[in-house]
């Protein structure tokens, strides 16, 4: 999974002398006393309590819960302690900050924040107080960075404001075309346009939970910029609502080493009454961005380690594919190797499968069950014989099937029921889709 290159611009890094990392032993590996002492030396009593927090299921083993619940992140400008109430989404976290933000939004957490643990994963959290864009005194915590999200409470207000301003502009245009507009109407038109632009910006900021500095508002897809979430006003009529692809200014669309890409979301997605649609699109497209950057990274390694030049087209791609698959499974998984080969060949089966499956699971973990079902049904409909997407290669399909089955086993019963409901709906939509035929033990 990926994130934008400028993710650290707004981070507050919280560094500890001896951070928690993957080398910290798990409870039960030796006696409790030595384990507690080890953690105390590393991060102090607060983190010890969090690390030892578990949930015991009747008749089953103890399962670890979030390490962040109860953690004090700091103090905001109102002198309020900002404490973590609960973690939303998967407690294993997400590969990118913007994906964790999307999960926080999908969950309805309010107030909300995302933090990056020392293993690099980003976690979505609900907190006791807000600290977005206000002075914030960070506490010493086992995290690398903390980001506060703006309140989501104004989404509906700004959506209505955008609608009213658009209606007023339409009325003004009609008056001007008919010749019945007073001279002062042009001044009002300029004012309405300015207010509409600001209202659109606020609607996107509140819906996605990201700062304005990370957004780029464009009229057309051809204007999208690298390193930004591009919001497109005049989308292609065939657009599914969002996309990912090379930056148009490069003059190329086929995969080549060093090419930059970006995500975009159609503004129309923010005008829907259900804000989870735009939030889901963000998670989905950032997943594609991560896959593309993974392929770019491996193409660079290929050229550096073999001395060959990657050549677009069948001859160059075949040579790269042979080398790439030989790197698995020692340097990366077979599924990731297949993904990289497909990305370099401009084939989308694997990346679409990953983006759709991971977005579905993210919505499930966030408790956005209706969105999860809609997203999975949409993916099933787009698979053969729908033909918008190709099936993933065998290795990718097997890996995603295992991921779905494993994740299902770790879910609480209520979530498992929603999982089955989504699969049933997908099967009804497209009985032949591979994702409709994943089997689970009930």
pLDDT tens, 387-398? Answer: 789 999 999 999
Query: Any bridge partners for residue 63, and if so which?
Result: 55
Give domain status of residue 274, yes or no.
no
Say if residue 142 is in the same domain as residue 12: yes
What distance in Å separates the CA atoms of residue 29 and residue 236, rounded to the nearest whole number?
57
- Boundary residue ending a domain (130, 148, 166): 148
Give domain status of residue 286, yes or no.
no
Q: Where are the beta strands (DSSP E) in 290-383?
A: none
Asked whether 216 and 230 are in contact (CB, 8 A), the reply is yes
What distance in Å separates the CA atoms of residue 116 and residue 94, rounded to the nearest whole number?
9
257 Ramachandran zone, left/alpha/beta (phi>0; psi -120 to 50): beta
> CA-CA distances (angstroms) from residue 339 to 62, 97, 295, 325?
36, 22, 8, 10
Q: Over the Cα atoms of the chain, what is R_g?
A: 24
Nearest to 204 by CA among 286, 88, 282, 95: 282
Say if residue 355 is in the same domain as residue 304: yes
Lowest mean pLDDT of 11-25, 109-123, 124-138, 201-215, name the range. 11-25
pLDDT at 270 exceeding the cut of 60: yes
Say if residue 373 is in the same domain as residue 326: yes
DSSP symbol at 383: S
Nearest to 285 by CA among 259, 269, 262: 262
* Strands 72-76, 81-88: pairing kind: antiparallel
| Higher pLDDT among residues 288 and 61, named by residue | 288
| Higher pLDDT among residues 82 and 315, named by residue | 82
Q: What is the pLDDT of residue 440?
A: 81
The rounded percent of the chain whose pLDDT value lies above 90 is 70
Lowest mean pLDDT of 15-19, 250-254, 311-315, name the range. 15-19
Residue 311 in tokens: 């050549």
* pLDDT tier for residue 442 given thresholds of 50, 70 and 90: low
Asked whether 198 and 158 are in contact (CB, 8 A), the reply is no
Q: Which helix (H) or strand (E) holds 176?
A: helix 155-178
Q: Which helix (H) or strand (E) holds 302?
A: helix 276-306
Asked whether 150 and 124 are in contact (CB, 8 A), the reply is no
Q: What is the pLDDT of residue 191?
A: 95
Give domain status of residue 280, yes or no.
no
What lies within 8 Å, CB to CB, of 97 at 6+ separation is: 3, 7, 114, 116, 122, 145, 147
What are the start-end ranges of the H helices in 76-154? 97-107
* pLDDT tier for residue 238 given thresholds of 50, 70 and 90: confident
> CA-CA distances (angstroms) from residue 122 to 132, 302, 438?
17, 29, 28
pLDDT at 167 exceeding the cut of 90: yes
User: What is the count of structural domains for the chain?
Assistant: 3
Residue 375 in tokens: 């997203």
**How many Å from the N-terminal Cα to the C-terminal Cα in the chain?**
30
What lies within 8 Å, CB to CB, of 178 at 6+ separation is: none
Say if residue 31 is in the same domain as residue 127: yes
What distance in Å separates the CA atoms of residue 220 and residue 101, rounded to the nearest whole number?
26
Say if residue 19 is in the same domain as residue 113: yes
- Boundary residue ending a domain (96, 126, 148): 148
Q: What is the pLDDT of residue 170?
A: 93
Say if residue 355 is in the same domain as residue 247: no
Nearest to 246 by CA among 257, 229, 260, 235: 260
Say if residue 258 is in the same domain as residue 323: no
Most confident of 53-62, 102-111, 165-174: 102-111
Backbone angles phi, psi at 407, to 5 degrees: -65, -40
Range of the domain at 390: 298-437
Say if residue 371 is in the same domain as residue 329: yes
Say if residue 232 is in the same domain as residue 308: no
Nearest to 163 by CA among 185, 187, 195: 195
* Residue position matching structure tokens 């990926």: 2
- Boundary residue ending a domain (128, 148, 168): 148
Nearest to 373 by CA among 407, 406, 405, 420: 420
Nearest to 209 by CA among 146, 155, 134, 159: 155
Give domain status of residue 176, yes or no.
yes
Taking residues 233-241, report their average pLDDT: 88
Lowest mean pLDDT of 103-117, 156-170, 228-242, name the range. 228-242
pLDDT at 135 exceeding the cut of 60: yes
Say if residue 249 is in the same domain as residue 186: yes
Q: What is the pLDDT of residue 15?
A: 28
Taking residues 245-258, report their average pLDDT: 91
Say if residue 11 is in the same domain as residue 143: yes
Asked whether 206 and 111 are in contact (CB, 8 A), the reply is no
Backbone angles phi, psi at 12, to 5 degrees: -110, 105
- Torsion, Cα 199 201 206 210, to 10 degrees, reads -170
pTM value? 0.85
Say if residue 142 is in the same domain as residue 182: no
């Amino acid at each position: 999974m990926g994130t934008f290159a400028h993710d650290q611009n707004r981070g507050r890094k919280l560094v500890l002398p001896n951070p928690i990392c993957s080398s910290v032993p798990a409870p039960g590996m030796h006696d409790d006393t030595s384990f507690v002492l080890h953690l105390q030396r590393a991060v102090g009593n607060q983190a010890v309590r969090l690390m030892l927090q578990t949930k015991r299921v009747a008749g089953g083993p103890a399962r670890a819960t979030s390490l962040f619940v109860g953690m004090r992140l700091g103090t905001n400008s109102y002198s309020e302690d900002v404490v973590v109430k609960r973690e939303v989404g998967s407690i294993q976290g997400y590969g990118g900050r913007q994906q964790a933000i999307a999960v926080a939004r999908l969950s309805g957490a309010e107030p909300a924040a995302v933090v990056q643990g020392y293993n690099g994963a980003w976690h979505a959290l609900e907190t006791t107080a807000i600290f977005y864009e206000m002075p914030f005194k960070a506490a010493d915590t086992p995290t690398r960075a903390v980001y506060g999200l703006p309140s989501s409470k104004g989404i509906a207000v700004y959506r209505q404001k955008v609608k009213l301003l658009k209606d007023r502009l339409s009325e003004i245009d009609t008056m001007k075309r008919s010749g019945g507009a007073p001279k002062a109407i042009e001044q009002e038109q300029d004012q309405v346009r300015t207010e509409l632009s600001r209202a659109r910006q606020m609607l996107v900021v509140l819906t996605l939970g990201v700062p304005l500095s990370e957004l780029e508002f464009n009229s057309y897809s051809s204007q999208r910029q690298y390193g930004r979430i591009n919001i497109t006003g005049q989308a292609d009529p065939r657009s599914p609502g969002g996309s990912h692809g090379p930056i148009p200014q490069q003059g190329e669309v086929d995969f080549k080493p060093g090419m930059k890409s970006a995500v975009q979301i159609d503004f129309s997605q923010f005008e829907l009454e259900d804000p989870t649609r735009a939030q889901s699109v963000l998670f989905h497209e950032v997943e594609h961005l991560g896959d593309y950057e993974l392929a770019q990274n491996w193409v660079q390694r290929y050229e550096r380690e073999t001395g060959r030049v990657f050549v677009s087209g069948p001859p160059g791609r075949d040579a790269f594919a042979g080398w790439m698959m030989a790197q698995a499974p020692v340097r990366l998984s077979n599924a990731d190797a297949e993904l990289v080969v497909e990305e370099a060949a401009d084939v989308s089966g694997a990346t679409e499968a990953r983006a759709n499956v991971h977005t579905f699971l993210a919505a499930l973990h966030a408790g956005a069950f209706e969105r999860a079902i809609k997203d999975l049904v949409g993916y099933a409909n787009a698979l053969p014989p729908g033909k918008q997407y190709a099936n993933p290669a065998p290795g990718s399909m097997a890996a995603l099937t295992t991921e779905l089955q494993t994740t299902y086993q770790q879910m609480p019963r209520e979530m498992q029921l929603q999982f089955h409901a989504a699969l049933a709906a997908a099967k009804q939509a497209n009985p032949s889709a591979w994702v409709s035929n994943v089997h689970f033990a009930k």
